Amino acid sequence: MPSGELFTGIFVPEQVREATSDRAWLQAMLDTEAALAAAEADAGVIPAEAAAAIGTACDAGGFDVEAIGREGRSVGVPVIALLRALRERVDDEVAGFVHYGATSQDVMDTAAMLVARRVIERIEPELDGVAGACAGLAEQHRGTLMAARTLMQHGLPTTFGLKAAGWLDSIVAARERLDSVSLAVQFGGASGTLASLGEGSEQVVGLLAKRLDLDEPAIPWHTSRVRVADLGASLALVAGALEKIGLDVLLLSQTEIAEVAEPSGGGRGVSSTLPHKRNAIGSVLAIACARRVRGAAGVLLAAMPQELERAAGAWQSEWEPLRESLTLTGGAAAAVREALEGLEVRPERMRENLHATGGLLMAESVVGALGERLGRRRARDLVDAACERALDRGTSLREQLIGDGAVSDELSEEEIDRALDPGSYLGSAEAFIDRALSRYRGDRGR
Amino acid sequence: MPSGELFTGIFVPEQVREATSDRAWLQAMLDTEAALAAAEADAGVIPAEAAAAIGTACDAGGFDVEAIGREGRSVGVPVIALLRALRERVDDEVAGFVHYGATSQDVMDTAAMLVARRVIERIEPELDGVAGACAGLAEQHRGTLMAARTLMQHGLPTTFGLKAAGWLDSIVAARERLDSVSLAVQFGGASGTLASLGEGSEQVVGLLAKRLDLDEPAIPWHTSRVRVADLGASLALVAGALEKIGLDVLLLSQTEIAEVAEPSGGGRGVSSTLPHKRNAIGSVLAIACARRVRGAAGVLLAAMPQELERAAGAWQSEWEPLRESLTLTGGAAAAVREALEGLEVRPERMRENLHATGGLLMAESVVGALGERLGRRRARDLVDAACERALDRGTSLREQLIGDGAVSDELSEEEIDRALDPGSYLGSAEAFIDRALSRYRGDRGR
Amino acid sequence: MPSGELFTGIFVPEQVREATSDRAWLQAMLDTEAALAAAEADAGVIPAEAAAAIGTACDAGGFDVEAIGREGRSVGVPVIALLRALRERVDDEVAGFVHYGATSQDVMDTAAMLVARRVIERIEPELDGVAGACAGLAEQHRGTLMAARTLMQHGLPTTFGLKAAGWLDSIVAARERLDSVSLAVQFGGASGTLASLGEGSEQVVGLLAKRLDLDEPAIPWHTSRVRVADLGASLALVAGALEKIGLDVLLLSQTEIAEVAEPSGGGRGVSSTLPHKRNAIGSVLAIACARRVRGAAGVLLAAMPQELERAAGAWQSEWEPLRESLTLTGGAAAAVREALEGLEVRPERMRENLHATGGLLMAESVVGALGERLGRRRARDLVDAACERALDRGTSLREQLIGDGAVSDELSEEEIDRALDPGSYLGSAEAFIDRALSRYRGDRGR
Amino acid sequence: MPSGELFTGIFVPEQVREATSDRAWLQAMLDTEAALAAAEADAGVIPAEAAAAIGTACDAGGFDVEAIGREGRSVGVPVIALLRALRERVDDEVAGFVHYGATSQDVMDTAAMLVARRVIERIEPELDGVAGACAGLAEQHRGTLMAARTLMQHGLPTTFGLKAAGWLDSIVAARERLDSVSLAVQFGGASGTLASLGEGSEQVVGLLAKRLDLDEPAIPWHTSRVRVADLGASLALVAGALEKIGLDVLLLSQTEIAEVAEPSGGGRGVSSTLPHKRNAIGSVLAIACARRVRGAAGVLLAAMPQELERAAGAWQSEWEPLRESLTLTGGAAAAVREALEGLEVRPERMRENLHATGGLLMAESVVGALGERLGRRRARDLVDAACERALDRGTSLREQLIGDGAVSDELSEEEIDRALDPGSYLGSAEAFIDRALSRYRGDRGR
């Protein structure tokens, strides 16, 4: 009975899931064995015909994944059972050249790097979609006024475009980090010396890297796990940047705020019992995925100190968390892309909410205007008092300012209204949007 | 293509795996729907015939798990698709009584608790085996001398029995914690009030609990997650206690120490390339499992703060980590049980290692004996110097003591030998073993 | 230059901070040395006069904490420098009886347990305050209608009292867990055998426990860390239960929702620049504290597997995280208590928000009423359609229901209004409040 | 009573500690205020004389850190109290230009980045020392034979130089990551728009960055936390690479292995009770530090999703973990540098241990030699059997090979001895060392 489909299907779309499936891992191991044989043939270490025969046999199609896992229990890796099955598929004389000079970890680590690269290739279009949607929103809503919210309370006015530009900048930054992770082949043999190949065989490492289109490491990294931990951390950065978007969409979708809505229709976001619900389901899924990516990243970071030449537990603990962090980052990216690409933005509601406090969130602006006449300190005191009265009496700040002689002596109603106009108090918002867009476009241009 | 078998088979034995499989989760959800219908019939809320028909339909056999997961993506839970399939299996008039008054989370949470209880029932015999093996080793090796090692260096003499008694005490303590976790039904309806059942329907909660043999909560706990986090933390305590045993076995199995060996034979612990290897594979697997249980527990603890009446992401992040922490605690328990039940203990090697430092580890004992004559401070200075010389010159401490007039003036060779005898310097080791055994037996007696 | 005051002062009130200060730790170590001497005198192991002299010298007042820390760098514990200083304070013949038979870890672990107990004693009144405030709110607002919010959207009606009862139940549960943690003395000597005291000295363990009012362990637990990890996990459960309250208060305080407000006045919750801000500062602090408690708990759980008879790194990693988890749980408890004790609850605003969707959140109730006439399935279809129209056209659900002949043929306007009345759709809310209050009172009664 | 000195002194040397002290944080905040005023004067936003006066007042010397922390409790940041104190130090007309246009988070975040840069400057020489020591060991011990150990058992022969080269490569990789983290100023005002400065003021961001020698961000990053999380993750990578070295040194220092020893003398590594102990204290401290750095990194990663324009809890949770991760990475680096710079390496002991198994670890080599005659499969079977007999009978592998006709028919004693010579079975070890050294030197050359 397969496990993991029930929940994974909810969090991760098919195209990402299939790139981290058991079958995909198995194929990556077989690809490693095939490429190793080919690289060794290139280097003259094994016969070319043997390499060709091995290459032909390395198709995951006919292997029994469940049996390979089960047999692995007595040795702690799936490689030995896989090799037995693989050797049965080739002639006896070829069998001796299968996995030649390699250790189980060489295959597992290289396969993990291959899986990582392949899944990341599936995640990239999702991230492209997210970034593109953010850029579109930033451009389109560069003038769309709304309340900025700090510590969950109205702060000053901002624009929806600036918010989207902030999302964009995080995605760009996190993605740069992910792109910078070195995905390298592993090939060191039983103890990292390639002893069984004899001196001078280190060239096989480079040939193998070339064949698999992975990086060539300076030295075998069986217990030097910076790249694995870095991969986990980088995925957590990407997932965290996605989660921030999900969290904002979720908060802005709340019934009382309702400034954005995720796409609905076709049963998306409905409830089993409540007919009126339109849940922000993409955001919910992205948040759930990101939380689990972090958990997985924690296991990978904790696995860094590995004993001597092969770890007794830490290495083995990496496999599933690595798979999870890849899969669920893909899930988060797809969920946010879906949410943003169909996002309903409601400028009129944003404006309504912006004015809901009767101008209170323009208090700083009034302090600025009044401060030019009375000095900032005195101005702040007067505005503090006016805010206090407005809050206590449930009136607008405008009313309190106009009714306060100390204020109205200095500022005309017109000046007060100008100071209370959110649209005139946006500072460098547009400039910041342009800078974020320009960084994004520069990145894409590379 | 099923996922998760390739690695899970390595870490977790079949009987534990099947209790947390997709099929097992699905059956637990169906058991919840069946028990809910029955409890509601008991309370007169729905007709008894409807409950009977629902009960009959609730067999996971014919459901398409993969489809249920996939369809769940648009709503963030597998329950809606499951209900659609379930309702198709009953008559139209019965369909309206399926999931009556319940919300998706009622079913997911109750099913999770059921799965937890069922997996724990599979873990218990493994823990029984571990505790029994520890108790046996403590009893049998109560007099088996070996070096205690502190900060990875020889400390004083101890016995292997005392070490095993320490393992035992941790297992007993961690298990008590796990036993104390409240596994309760969830039933509150869409917002925790059971509104659609009308007033007085809270009795259904108790009836449901009784039918499923789970605890009855005081109040719906949709966003009060103490019990889920507690379960995760308790599993991490159990896994951590198991990991400690694995770590000790691993360390004592090192080539140069070789005081214990995990069972081998039948290919257990072999290497893909090195014919001489007998890896301590049970310990390795237990350590790998425990590291991942901790990662999962971290996600569960982080999921505690859940928003208002239903969490948007945190709750959804719990499902897989809960499954993982259960499954892998089972894997760790089985691995340690296998390692301990067949553990080869080598008293002669322990004795050899104990003497390897030429008596250095008896230095404290000599300070004690000499201190009675010269005062502790002077004695410590003399013994410090003797140790220093022994280390520098590569001789035994005995030689240095006898050769030092300041010492030999006070202690005869016989007295020095008595002070250097590890067997006479075990303090309360046996008493502590007895106390640990007695706590263990008391626990079992309950 | 002291460190840690700048931020700790923000998160933790003085009375909790002082119980985990360097001075408090030092005093706990000295209390341990004094109690050990006294217990050994009780057992006839050392002279009563020596114990008395040691007791007198064990006052943290005159010790140089910073120097003790700095000197500890070369040995990895602060105990050796402390002992040197302590021995200088007593006569030469007494000095030999200081720390008699103990190892550094005996002192550190016992002191840690003492500190834990003392801090928990300071946290208890804060938790009493939190629970009391929750119980008061549950009682007082048992009929205060508001919208339940699931996935951050209006669900069904609930009462503020039921929400507070849910908070209460979590606090009660988490606290029970914390109360159940075994805080025990540690006394095993250099390798856990009490060798230097000779046989039969295990009775000192019990005498020491009695003097310090801590538990007596079955066996030394130098590398059996269940109790430390359990303490960390239990504090994380308490902190998580507090964080849930903080999160809810924060969400309900949002400008557009404004159903509750934390106490303000005296500069509480103000902003450096925005005169109108009244931040929910207690909630913010509680959330920040709880996040860090979880981080600390993670380190403590990860420290469980400790090598052989003394850990090389894991044990040493526990000290600060243990301190942090205690301190910050205290900070979270104080912050939530302050927030709740002065919480402004706004029933009228709750009612306003409840009606803001024009009755949409009563859709399930209408399905129920209409279902009695037409069957649930047909009723759900009609109500789904009415919700859809209400959402699309921005009208109330009531309007759509009355305007739909298929509905109005079955239900009169009066019946529709009854079905749309939130006050009549609260199910078992009151009963659940009573059950939670009864569990809380039962607990207090014990 | 200061807190944090007692333990911090143990883990972190003075020069790192003082760079993250409360005083250092305060000074960084004041440096930010001074630089902001200067940058605003550069841009013509405030008068140059005001900036000069503010600059003069910004010396942490006279501020009361403890009071600033305590007062911060009511607002959740230390900035407001700091500003009050700062404004009291300047004339009234200047006071209005203090913190002009800034929000508390601008100051906290920029100060955090400054502290990070300053601490990293203190960590760099420690890492230089570690890398230099590794490179020296790799070079010097490129031919020093020892047993590689996989899963804690003898694998094949390797060299101590190769091991040190692996350590080096990880340090180089982790450090590259740390160097790549963008440390940028934060300046966005209350809601990220710089509204109070008016349009066109975004140039102040660049001027501020230049004055503080930090990066200029594209856009305010109040709730875009990639750089903070990245910093935490990168520190965890560095700490993890250090911990790996500590772990290896610890394992190689075990009494029975004793292939290396940390420097001792001057009380370093002694025990409170055991005169013979020479603990590997640098390794122990490094491991303890790294574990806590990971805990802190987890909190920072978890803080990524921050609400809207200012986080309510997540941001506040970053401050101490950021401090901790910096401080303790410094502690780990110093501890490993001390351990490695004085490391005693014992080639003769390495050779002894290498031969301890009677040639068993050369089994793969014999398979290779024999395989050329008999085919690998047959060869492996014969060698497996010989190993089995050697293990069972406690004899050497050599003896079993020579005594087995099937082997001795193919290989002469001389050939067997050649196959059993560890020195001839090192494969590409030297080449890998050279590659790692070359990468390291290339990096330094940049």
Could you tell me if A155 and A85 are in contact, meaning their C-beta atoms sit under 8 angstroms apart?
no
Catalytic member of C89, C278, C310, C349: C310
Looking only at the bridges linking them, the beta strands covering C344-345 and D145-150 are unpaired
Longest pairwise C-alpha distance within chain A: 102
> What are A212-228's pLDDT values in tens digits?
999 999 999 999 999 99
Average pLDDT of the segment spanning A178-207: 94
Contacts of A20 in chain B (CB under 8 A): 3
> What are C140-198's pLDDT values in tens digits?
999 999 999 999 999 999 999 999 999 999 999 999 999 999 999 999 999 999 999 98
> Closest partner residue to B7 among A11, A83, A319, by Cβ?
A319
For D142-173, give the DSSP string: TT-EEEEEETTEEEEEEEHHHHHHHHHHHHHH
Which range, of A22-36, A132-146, A369-383, C293-307, averages the lowest pLDDT? A369-383
> Closest partner residue to D274 among B257, B279, B364, by Cβ?
B364
Could you tell me if D272 and C99 are in contact, meaning their C-beta atoms sit under 8 angstroms apart?
yes
- Say yes or no: D182 contacts chain C, CB-CB below 8 A: no
For D267, name the nearest residue in chain B, comparing CA atoms only.
B384
Q: Give SS3 for B149.
A: strand
Q: What is the pLDDT along chain D (446 residues), one digit of tens a residue?
A: 345 788 999 999 999 999 999 999 999 999 999 999 999 999 999 999 999 999 999 987 889 988 998 899 999 999 999 999 999 999 998 998 999 999 999 999 999 999 999 999 999 999 999 999 999 999 999 999 999 999 999 999 999 999 999 999 999 999 999 999 999 999 999 999 999 998 889 999 999 999 999 999 999 999 999 999 999 999 999 999 999 999 999 999 999 999 999 998 888 888 767 777 789 999 999 999 999 999 999 999 999 999 999 999 999 999 999 999 999 999 999 999 999 999 999 999 999 999 988 888 899 899 989 998 998 889 989 998 998 899 889 899 999 999 999 999 999 999 999 999 999 999 999 999 999 999 999 865 54
Q: Does residue A446 carry a pLDDT above 50?
A: no
Average pLDDT of the segment spanning B244-260: 97
Question: Residue C444: its pLDDT value, please?
Answer: 58
Average pLDDT of the segment spanning B272-292: 90
For A265, name the nearest residue in chain C, comparing CA atoms only.
C388
Look at A149 and C257 and tell me if their CB atoms are within 8 Å.
no
ipTM for this prediction: 0.96
Contacts of residue C44, defined as CB under 8 A and 6 or more positions apart, other chains included, come to none
Look at B9 and A73 and tell me if their CB atoms are within 8 Å.
yes
Give the number of other CB atoms < 10 A from CB of residue B446.
6
Catalytic member of B291, B310, B378, B389: B310
Look at A257 and C253 and tell me if their CB atoms are within 8 Å.
no
Reported as a pLDDT band with limits 50, 70 and 90, residue B162 is very high
**Cα→Cα distances C30→C36, C68, C156, C323, D7, Å:** 10, 13, 58, 17, 16
Average pLDDT of the segment spanning A380-387: 91
Task: Look at residues D233, D227, D186, D183 and name the one whose alpha carbon lies nearest to residue D205.
Answer: D186
Question: Residue C110: its pLDDT value, please?
Answer: 98
Look at A224 and D170 and tell me if their CB atoms are within 8 Å.
yes
The per-residue b/e assignment along D378-410, b for 16 or more CB within 10 angstroms, e otherwise, is: bbbebbeebbebbbeeeebbbebbbeeeebeeb
Contacts of A11 in chain B (CB under 8 A): 73, 316
Question: Residue B198: its pLDDT value, please?
Answer: 85
Radius of gyration of chain A (CA): 29
Task: Look at residues C307, C74, A307 and name the one whose alpha carbon lies nearest to residue D339.
Answer: C74
Scanning C128-147 for CB atoms below 8 A from A yields 147
> What are D244-279's pLDDT values in tens digits?
999 999 999 999 999 999 998 888 888 767 777 789
Distance CA A299, CA B223 (A): 27
- Say yes or no: B189 contacts chain A, CB-CB below 8 A: yes
Separation in Å, CA of A151 to nearest CA in chain C: 7
Question: Residue B446: its pLDDT value, please?
Answer: 44
Number of alpha carbons in the 13 Å side-chain half-sphere of residue B402: 14
Look at D221 and A151 and tell me if their CB atoms are within 8 Å.
no
Average pLDDT of the segment spanning C75-92: 94
Give the H/E segment covering residue B29.
helix B22-42
> Closest partner residue to A383 among C254, C275, C280, by Cβ?
C275
Between C65-72 and C22-42, two packed helices, what is the crossing angle to 10 degrees? 80
- Say yes or no: C187 contacts chain B, CB-CB below 8 A: no
Number of alpha carbons in the 13 Å side-chain half-sphere of residue A112: 31
Question: Residue C3: its pLDDT value, please?
Answer: 57
Give the H/E segment covering residue D2.
none
Place of tokens 């241990």: D353
Task: Look at residues B236, B193, D52, B286 and name the one whose alpha carbon lies nearest to residue A316.
Answer: B286
Scanning D269-288 for CB atoms below 8 A from A yields 287
Contacts of residue A338, defined as CB under 8 A and 6 or more positions apart, other chains included, come to A263, A282
Separation in Å, CA of C153 to nearest CA in chain D: 17
Look at C279 and A153 and tell me if their CB atoms are within 8 Å.
yes
Average pLDDT value over all residues in chain C:
94
For A287, name the nearest residue in chain C, comparing CA atoms only.
C151
Scanning A374-393 for CB atoms below 8 A from C yields 380, 383-384, 387, 390-391
Give the H/E segment covering residue A326.
helix A319-341
> What are A291-312's pLDDT values in tens digits?
999 999 999 999 999 999 999 9
Q: Subunits that touch chain A (at least 3 Cβ pairs < 8 angstroms)?
A: B, C, D
A310: annotated active-site residue: yes
Scanning A405-444 for CB atoms below 8 A from D yields 425-429, 431-433, 435-436, 438-439
Question: Residue D38: its pLDDT value, please?
Answer: 98
The letter for the amino acid at C403 is: G
Contacts of A305 in chain D (CB under 8 A): 240, 243-244, 246-247, 287, 290
> Closest partner residue to D199 among A155, A365, A428, by Cβ?
A428
Task: Look at residues A97, A67, A62 and name the one whose alpha carbon lies nearest to residue A81.
Answer: A67
For B353, name the nearest residue in chain D, comparing CA atoms only.
D256
Mutate to test the interface with D, among C14, C29, C284 (most CBs of D within 10 A): C284
Token reading at B276: 């001489």
Q: Does residue A272 carry a pLDDT above 80?
A: no
> Closest partner residue to A10 among B18, B69, B323, by Cβ?
B69
Cα-flanking dihedrals φ and ψ of residue A45, to 5°?
A: -80, -40
Contacts of C361 in chain A (CB under 8 A): 274, 276
Residue B117 C-alpha from the chain's centroid:
15
Question: Residue D39: its pLDDT value, please?
Answer: 98
Could you tell me if B185 and B113 are in contact, meaning their C-beta atoms sit under 8 angstroms apart?
yes
Contacts of residue D392, defined as CB under 8 A and 6 or more positions apart, other chains included, come to none
Could you tell me if C304 and B243 are in contact, meaning their C-beta atoms sit under 8 angstroms apart?
yes
> What are D309-339's pLDDT values in tens digits?
999 999 999 999 999 999 999 999 999 999 9
Contacts of D149 in chain B (CB under 8 A): 254-255
CA dihedral D122, D123, D129, D131 (to 10 degrees): -150
**Cα→Cα distances D426→A188, A197, D146, Å:** 11, 10, 11
Token reading at B133: 């093996």
Mutate to test the interface with A, among C146, C149, C150, C151 (most CBs of A within 10 A): C151
pTM for the structure as a whole: 0.97
Number of alpha carbons in the 13 Å side-chain half-sphere of residue B150: 26
- Say yes or no: D14 contacts chain C, CB-CB below 8 A: yes
Between D160-180 and D429-445, two packed helices, what is the crossing angle to 10 degrees? 30
Mutate to test the interface with A, among D170, D308, D365 (most CBs of A within 10 A): D308
Look at D70 and C9 and tell me if their CB atoms are within 8 Å.
yes
Look at A360 and C276 and tell me if their CB atoms are within 8 Å.
yes
Contacts of C391 in chain A (CB under 8 A): 276, 278
Q: Does residue C272 carry a pLDDT above 60?
A: yes
> What are C345-392's pLDDT values in tens digits?
999 999 999 998 888 889 989 998 998 899 888 998 999 899 889 988
Contacts of A150 in chain C (CB under 8 A): 271, 274, 277
Could you tell me if A63 and A27 are in contact, meaning their C-beta atoms sit under 8 angstroms apart?
no
> What are A325-366's pLDDT values in tens digits?
999 999 999 999 999 999 999 999 999 999 988 888 899 899
Look at B427 and C199 and tell me if their CB atoms are within 8 Å.
yes
The residue length of chain D stands at 446
B271: annotated active-site residue: yes
> Closest partner residue to B76 among A26, A68, A279, by Cβ?
A279
Q: Does residue B444 carry a pLDDT above 60?
A: no
For D25, name the nearest residue in chain C, comparing CA atoms only.
C6
Catalytic member of A89, A268, A310, A380: A310
> What are A390-431's pLDDT values in tens digits?
988 889 999 999 999 999 999 999 999 999 999 999 999 999
Distance CA A36, CA A209 (A): 9
For C260-301, give the DSSP string: EE---BTTBT--SS-TT----HHHHHHHHHHHHHHHHHHHHH
Distance CA A273, CA A278 (A): 12
Catalytic member of D70, D84, D271, D424: D271
